[in-house]
Amino acid sequence: MAFATIDTTLPIQPTRASAPTGGAASAATRSKANDEPVATRSLPRLVVGHVLLIVLALFSVFPVYWMFATAFRAPEDALSQNVIPWPLSLENFSYVVDAIPIMGMLANTFGMALVLAVAQLFVALLASYGFAMWDFPGKKVLFLVFVGSWLVPFQVTMIPNYVLVSQMGLLNTIAGVVVPNLCSAFAVMLMRQHMESFPRELLDASQMDGRSSWGTLWLVVVPNLKPALAALGIMLFISAWNEYLWPTLILQNSDALIQVGIRSFLGTEGNNWGAVMAASGLACLPIFLIYIFLQRYVVDAFVRSGLK
Amino acid sequence: MFVPSVAGAPAPADATRPGRPRRKLRLAPYLYLIPAVILLVTWTYKPLVESFWLSFFDWNLIPTSPKSFVGTENYTTVLTLPELHQALLNTGVYILAFLVFSLLLPVAIALLARRVKGRAKTVYQALIFIPFLLTPVATSAIWRWLFAPEGGTIPTIAATFGWDMGNVFRDPALSIWAVIVIVGWQMLGFGVLVISAGLAGINPDYSAAAALDGASTRQITWKIIVPLLSPSLVFMGLMTVLLSAQWTYPIIDIVTQGGPSGSSTNIYYLLYQFGFRNFDAGLAAAAGTLFFVGFGLIALIFVELTERLSFHDN
C-alpha cells in the first residue's frame, strides 16, 4: 500500500538533516535577510521539540520504571511513593519464584516464541520466494488470499479453531498455541517485498551456475537477506511472546506460558503489588534484553514493516 | 528458469522477458507456496466459512451436543441485544480516542519535534517505543497498580488536587477512559515513530523550493508536508481501526472484564464472552460474521483512500 514513503532508516537521516541548509545556501542570489528568520525561528523550535520529546519519553518510561521500582522495594515499602526505591530488596522476586513456577513458564514461553518465529520465518521465506521469483497463473488470486487474511479478525475464527484444536487433542498444550499460528501472512508480505528488490543478476548468475531454485534460495538469497530475516525474526519473536488471547483460550487449565501464569497470579495476589510487579518485570525481561542489545533493529523492523 | 528440470532448454522467449521466467505452467512456485496456503486456509479461511455456517445454528460448543438449525434467529437476536448496542458505541468511542493517540498527537509531535536530530533523537525514539513492546499482562498489571485506589500513583496525585478518584476501573463513567489511557499509552510512541519515519521520507527539496518561492512555514506544513505524509496517515488510520479491538482485548480482559455493567466492553470482547463465557457459539458466530463484513467495508474504504490520496514522492 504505502511502503514507497518509508524506506528510509529511522534514526539517521543525513539527507534531511543537510538538505534544507544546502537548499538555502544554493539560493545565493537571495538576500541574506530571507535566510535569517528561518535560522532564528529554528532555535525555539528545537527547544520545543526537545521539551516535547522529553515529556513524551518520561510519560512512556515512567510506568515501566515504576514497575521495576516497586518490584525492587522491600515488601513493607510497597505503597511508598518515593521515586527511588531504597533500600533495594530482592524479596519480591524470591516470593514470586517460590509462589509460582515462573522460571519454567519463562522457559516454555521462550521455547514457544522461538519455535513460532522460526516456523513463521521459514514458511514466509518459501512463500515469498514463490511470489517474487515467478509469474504463474493464479498469482493474483493467491496474493489476495494472503492480503485478505488480514481482514479476518481473530475473534471471528476463534471458535472453529478452538474446536479444531480440541479435536486434535491439543487443548491445554503449548502445541495447541503454536500450530494455528504457523503461517503469518504479514511475514509473507514483508518478505516478498525484500525478495522483489533482490538483485536479479545474482539470481541469473546462480541459475547459470546450474543451481536449482532450492539451491539458489539457500545459497544465494538467504545469505544476502540475512539482515531482513533477522529483523523479521526478532519481530515475530516479540509478537509471539506478547500473544495473549489465543494462549489464554487454549491453556485454560494450565499455567505453562507466562501470559497465562501471570494472569492467574494477578487474580490470586490482587493487591500484593510488590510481588505482582516483580512477576510482570520478569515477564518482560527477555523482550527488554533483546531491545537493549538490538534496539535499532527492533525499532526499524516494527516501524518500517508498519508500512506495508 | 529456476527449475531446470521443468524449464528445459532456454527458449527465445527468455530474451524478451529478462528477469521473469517464461509463461509456462510450472510446478515450482506452487510448491513453495503450498505450506503457507494450506496453513492459511486451514486456520483462517475454513474457520471463517465455518463461523458463517455456525451462525445459523444453536450450539453450546460441546462436541457431543447437537447443533440445531435456527435460521437467521441468531442475527435478529444479536441485532436487538442492548449489550451489543453498548459495545458498538464503545467501539466507536475507542476508535475515535485511539485516532487521537495514533494520529493526531503523533503528527503534532512529529512536526514540532522534526528539528531534533542525531543522538538525542535516537535516544528519545528508543525510550518512547518501549510501551509498544511491553507484554500486555505486564501493561495491565502496571496500570492497575498506578490506578490502585490505595497507594496508586495517579489517585495519590489526584488527591493532592482535591479529586477523590476512587477505583476508576469500577466506575462506569471512568472505566472506558482508563482503558483508553492504557492502550493510548502503548500506541503513542509507535505512532510518533511511524509518522516521523514518514516525515523523514519526504524529499526536503519540495519544502526548500516552496520556501524560496516565499511560502510561510505554516503553508509549507499544510500544503506540502501533510499531503505528502498522507500514505503514513492513512496507514496509521487503518491500523487503528482494524487493530484497536485487538489491542484493547488483553487490557479489558485483565483490568475491567468489560465492566462495570458493560461500560468498557467492545465488540470483540463481547464476541469472546458470547463464545467462551456464555458458550453460545451460534450467537458469537453471527456477531462475528456481521463485524467481519462491517470492518471489511471500512478497510476497503481505507484502501480506496490510499489509492486516491497517495501523492508519491518521486
Q: Which residues pair with B68 in a beta bridge?
A: B58
B250 to each of A219, A249, B7, B137, B139, how far by Cα in Å? 42, 12, 51, 7, 9
Amino acid A221: pLDDT: 92
Report the C-alpha gap between B155 and B173 in whole angstroms. 16
Decide if B281 and A130 are in contact by the 8 Å CB cutoff: no
To 5 degrees, how large is the angle CA A200–CA A202–CA A207?
95
Tell me the pLDDT tens digit for each residue of B92-145.
999 999 999 999 999 999 998 888 888 888 899 899 999 999 999 999 999 999
Confidence (pTM): 0.85
The DSSP result for B211-275, as a single string, is HHTT--HHHIIIIIIHHHHHHHHHHHHHHHHHHHHHHHHHHIIIIITT-STTTT--HHHHHHIII
Decide if B21 and A134 are in contact by the 8 Å CB cutoff: yes
State residue A255 phi and psi, 5-degree precision.
-110, 35
Which cell numbers hold the place of A157?
Answer: 475464527
Amino acid B299: pLDDT: 80
Amino acid B33: pLDDT: 94
Amino acid A142: pLDDT: 92
Amino acid A106: pLDDT: 94
- Shortest distance, CA B70 to any CA of chain A (angstroms): 18
- Considering chain B, what percentage of its residues have pLDDT values greater than 70? 90
Distance between the two ends of chain A, CA-based, in angstroms? 6
Amino acid A41: pLDDT: 57
pLDDT at B243 over 70: yes
- Shortest distance, CA A180 to any CA of chain B (angstroms): 6
Decide if A81 and B19 are in contact by the 8 Å CB cutoff: no
pLDDT at B190 over 50: yes
Domain assignments of chain B as residue spans, ordered by start: 93-271
Contact B102, B194 (CB under 8 A): no
pLDDT at B20 over 70: no
Domain assignments of chain A as residue spans, ordered by start: 100-267
Report the C-alpha gap between A205 and A183 in whole angstroms. 31
Tell me the pLDDT tens digit for each residue of A141-166.
999 899 888 888 888 899 999 999 99
Substitution target in B39, B157, B246, B295 with the highest count of A β-carbons within 10 Å is B39
ipTM topping 0.90: no
Report the C-alpha gap between B217 and A41 in whole angstroms. 10
Contact B2, A207 (CB under 8 A): yes
Long-range CB pairs of A224-232, under 8 A, 24+ apart, other chains included: A224/A198, A225/A194, A225/A195, A225/A198, A228/A191, A228/A194, A229/A121, A229/A125, A229/A191, A230/A297, A231/A297, A231/A298, A231/A300, A231/A301, A232/A121, A232/A124, A232/A187, A232/A190, A232/A191, A232/A301, A232/A305
Nearest CA in chain A to B60: A159
A178 vs B226: which has the higher pLDDT: A178
Q: How confident is the model at residue B15 (pLDDT cuts 50, 70, 90)?
A: very low
Tell me the pLDDT tens digit for each residue of B26-74.
888 999 999 999 999 999 999 999 999 999 999 888 878 888 888 888 9
Environment class of A258 (CB within 10 Å of its CB; exposed 0-12, middle 13-18, buried 19+): buried
Nearest CA in chain A to B157: A81
Q: Which residues pair with A73 in a beta bridge?
A: A88
Nearest to A56 among B40, B128, B310 (CB): B128
Report the C-alpha gap between B296 and A150 in whole angstroms. 10
Classify domain B93-271 by CATH number. Answer: 1.10.3720.10
Contact A72, A92 (CB under 8 A): yes
Decide if A287 and B134 are in contact by the 8 Å CB cutoff: yes
Decide if A153 and B285 are in contact by the 8 Å CB cutoff: no
Substitution target in A170, A182, A213 with the highest count of B β-carbons within 10 Å is A213
- Report helix, strand or coil for B57: strand
pLDDT at B301 over 90: no
Q: How confident is the model at residue B232 (pLDDT cuts 50, 70, 90)?
A: confident
Decide if A306 and B291 are in contact by the 8 Å CB cutoff: no
Decide if A159 and B122 are in contact by the 8 Å CB cutoff: no
Amino acid B311: pLDDT: 55
Nearest CA in chain A to B182: A63
Q: Say if domain A100-267 classifies as CATH 1.10.3720.10.
A: yes
pLDDT tens, chain A, 308 aa long: 333 333 333 333 333 333 344 334 444 334 333 443 444 457 888 888 999 999 999 999 999 999 999 999 988 877 777 778 888 889 899 999 999 999 999 999 999 999 999 999 999 999 999 998 888 899 999 998 998 888 888 888 999 999 999 999 999 999 999 999 999 998 998 899 888 888 888 888 888 888 888 999 999 999 999 988 988 999 999 999 999 999 999 998 888 899 999 988 988 887 889 999 999 999 999 999 999 998 888 888 888 765 43
| All residues at 6 or more sequence positions from A43 whose CB lies less than 8 Å from its CB, including other chains | none
Q: How confident is the model at residue B10 (pLDDT cuts 50, 70, 90)?
A: very low
